[in-house]
Chain A
C-alpha cells in the first residue's frame, strides 16, 4: 500500500511540471500583456499617451521582454525555491498573498459541498434503488435530472431572485458586512457558517444529482445477485443485510467518482462564486484574466490543477484501500 502511494506521488511530480508549463503558456496566449492593458486603460481614462520608451522601460522592469521559456524558468524556480508566485501587477503585492487567501475559501466550499453531496446522495441513492419505481424514486429522479441539467450559476441566479422577491434580502457574500474585513474570531466563524450553506448547496447540487444516479444504478446491479438472496434466506435483518453487503459493494465505483467530483466542484465553485460575489478564487481569477495579471492567473490555474490531481490521488488511494484487487495489480 505504501509503495503504491509512493509510486503515485512520484508520478505526480513530472505531471505537475508539464501542467505548470502548459498553464504558463496558456496564460501567455492572449495578445498583449499587462503593460499594454494598463497603457490602454490610462489612455481611455486620462487621455495620456505614453512614449514607446516608457512602455519599453515598464516591460523591462517587469521582465516581460524576455523569451517565454526564461520567464517560465524564473517563475517556476521562484515557486519551487521560495514559494514566491510572482508579482501581482494590479494589486502591487506578491501574488501568493492573494492566492493563498482566496484558495483556502475555495477548498473550504468545495469540501463542504462534497460532504453535503455525499450525505444527501448516499441515502437517497440507496432509497431509490431499494424502492425502485416507487413515487419517491420518481420524485428524486426528476429532481436529480433537473439538478444535473442546471448549471450552478443558474441555480445561484434563481436563488438570488427568490430570496430577493420573497424575503427582500440579498444572499450574496460569505460574511456579514461587519465581519468581512475583521480578523478571524469565533464570532466570525459562526457568521461564516451562517453564509456558507448556500454556496455549499448550490455547488453541491449538480454533483449530488449525478451521484444519486450512480449509487442507484450500482446498488440495483448488486441487489439482483445471489448472495443477497442467500443472506436473506438465512434470516438476516433486511437493513443490516443491505448495508453490510450490497451497499458495501456498490460503494467501490462510487468512490472512484471522487476523482472527478472534486475537480468539478472546484470548477463549479469558480463560476458560482462570481455570481454570488464570494471571496474565493473565482472573481479574482476572472479579474486577473481580464487585465492579464498573468502571475495571479497562472498561480490560480496551477493550484486548482494541483487540487484536482490531489483529488484524483485521494480517490485512487481510497479505492486501493477498499478494493484489494487494485492494490495488488
Chain B
C-alpha cells in the first residue's frame, strides 16, 4: 500500500509532459518543449529523483496523517509515560503476525527512577488496516463553508495494534505517555505546510515588488533595493524572534499559524524579489523581447506570454530552495516557545520538550523531530539543486 502511494504521480510541480516522456531520440530532442527538456535533464539527477520520491511520500503521509498514525495525537497511556520504543517482532511461530511485547513498569526504590522491563507475557498483536482512534481527513475546520464538507471521518489505520486502545509505541512515548511516532506524523502537517504557505506568501510579495523593481526601474527600483538591503542587514533569527512575540499566544491556533508564516515571509520575500528582478532585467535585453516589442505586442502580453514562461523554471527552483528556510524558521521559533504553542503539534513544538539535558539523556527518542526536520530540509535542498540544474539550458 505504501508503495502504491509512493508510485502515484502526485508531483508537486506541474510537468506537462512528464507522463508520456519516453525515448530520447535526436529528432524528438529538437522539437521537445522546454518543460520536457527539463524533465529529461532532471531525471538524470539521481539524488534529485530520490528526493522527489521522498518529498511526495512525506506530503502524502502528512495529507493522510490520521490514516498513517497508529494513534490520535492526544491518546495517552498512564502506564507508559516515557516508555522507550517497542521492537516489532514480525514472525510469530514462523507465521507473519507482527506483535510487540508490553512493558512492566518498575520504580527504582533508591532513586525513584522509572524503568521499563519487557513483559514477555503480554503480547500486543499488530496488523494492517486496523480499527483505532477516529480521525478526520480533509478540510474540516476551515472557515470557508463550502470547503468544509470536503472531509471524511473514519477509524481505519494503516498499521497499529489490532485491539483498539492497546499500547503501541514505535518511537517511544513522551512525558505524558503519548505516542511520539503518531505525533511526529501529525506534526508534519504543520511543519511541512508552513514551508509551502510561507513560500507562497513570500513569492507573491517577491513577484510584485521584484517585478516592479525590474520593470519600472529608476526611482522605484532604487527604493525597493534599499528596502531589501535594509531588511537583509537585520539578522534573521533575532528579527523573527522579535516579530513572533508580536503574535499573541492567546489567539486561535489557526491565526497564530498564519501570523508565524507571515512573520517568516516578511524576510523571505527579499530573496524572491532579487531573483525576479534579476530575471526581468536580463530578459529585458533579450532579442526575442525586442522582437515582440517591435511587433507591437502589448506590455502585459510580453510579460505574461514571453517573459514569465522563460523564467518560471528558475522561480520554481528558487522556491524549492526557499522552503527549507521556512521550515527551519518555524522549527526554531516554536522550539524557543515563540512560535506555535502546545495544543498544536509541529516538529518545533515537539522539540521544545527536548530542551533539557534530563529529557535528552532519558528519552533520546524525543530528538526524532529533529531527524525529521533534517531529512526534510536535505531532500528539499537536493530537489532544488536538481531543478536548478535542469532549468539551466546551458549545462
Residues of chain A touching chain B, judged by Cβ–Cβ distance below 8 Å, are: 15, 18-19, 22-23, 26-27, 29-31, 145-146, 148-151, 153-154, 157-158, 160-161, 164-165, 170, 172, 260, 263-264, 266-268, 270-271, 274-275, 285-286, 289-290, 292, 297, 300-301, 304-305, 307-309, 312
Contacts and interface: CB of A to CB of B under 8 A. Distances in A.
B233 A308 contact: yes
A301 B238 contact: yes
Interface string B39-66: 0000000000000000000000000000
Give the most central of B232, B238, B328: most A CB within 10 Å. B238
The 6 nearest A-B residue pairs measured at CB: A29-B246, A267-B235, A267-B237, A149-B378, A149-B377, A154-B370
B238 A150 contact: no
Given A164-B360, A263-B233, 12 more contacts: A148-B381, A149-B324, A150-B370, A151-B373, A154-B367, A164-B361, A263-B235, A266-B235, A267-B236, A271-B237, A285-B238, A301-B242
Contact of A312 (B233, B377, B378): B233
B360 to A, nearest CB: 4
Contacts of B361: 161, 164-165
B239 A26 contact: yes
B234 A305 contact: yes
B229 A15 contact: yes
B80 interface: no
Contact-residue bracket for chain B: 35 or more
Contacts of B357: 160, 164, 170, 172
Nearest to B229: A15
B233 A309 contact: yes
B236 A145 contact: no
B350 interface: no
11 contacts: A23-B242, A30-B248, A145-B382, A146-B374, A158-B370, A165-B364, A264-B236, A266-B238, A301-B238, A308-B234, A312-B233
A145 B357 CA distance: 27
A289 B354 CA distance: 22
A286 B238 CA distance: 9
A37 to B, nearest CB: 11
Nearest to B243: A26
B254 interface: no
Nearest to A32: B248
A282 to B, nearest CB: 9
B332 interface: yes
Interface in B342-370: 351, 354-355, 357, 360-361, 364, 367, 370
Interface string B334-348: 011010000000000
A157 B238 CA distance: 20
B331 interface: yes
Nearest to B335: A153
Interface in B215-268: 229-230, 232-239, 241-243, 245-246, 248
Contacts of B338: 286, 289
Contacts of B246: 26, 29-30
Contacts of B336: 271, 274, 286
B230 to A, nearest CB: 6
Contacts of B245: 29-30, 289-290, 292
A160 B332 contact: no
A149 B51 CA distance: 14
A267 B367 contact: no
Contacts of A312: 233
Nearest to B235: A267
A309 B370 CA distance: 32
B332 A153 contact: yes
A130 to B, nearest CB: 21
B248 A161 contact: no
B35 to A, nearest CB: 26
A90 to B, nearest CB: 15
Contacts of A26: 239, 242-243, 246
B238 A267 contact: yes
A151 B332 contact: yes
A72 B48 CA distance: 50
Contacts of A267: 235-238
Contacts of A15: 229-230, 233
B171 to A, nearest CB: 16
Contact of B367 (A145, A157, A308): A157
A305 B241 contact: no
Given A19-B234, A172-B357, A289-B245, A158 B367 contact: yes
A287 to B, nearest CB: 11
A285 B377 CA distance: 27
Contact of A270 (B238, B328, B335): B238
A18 B223 CA distance: 13
Contact of A161 (B232, B364, B381): B364
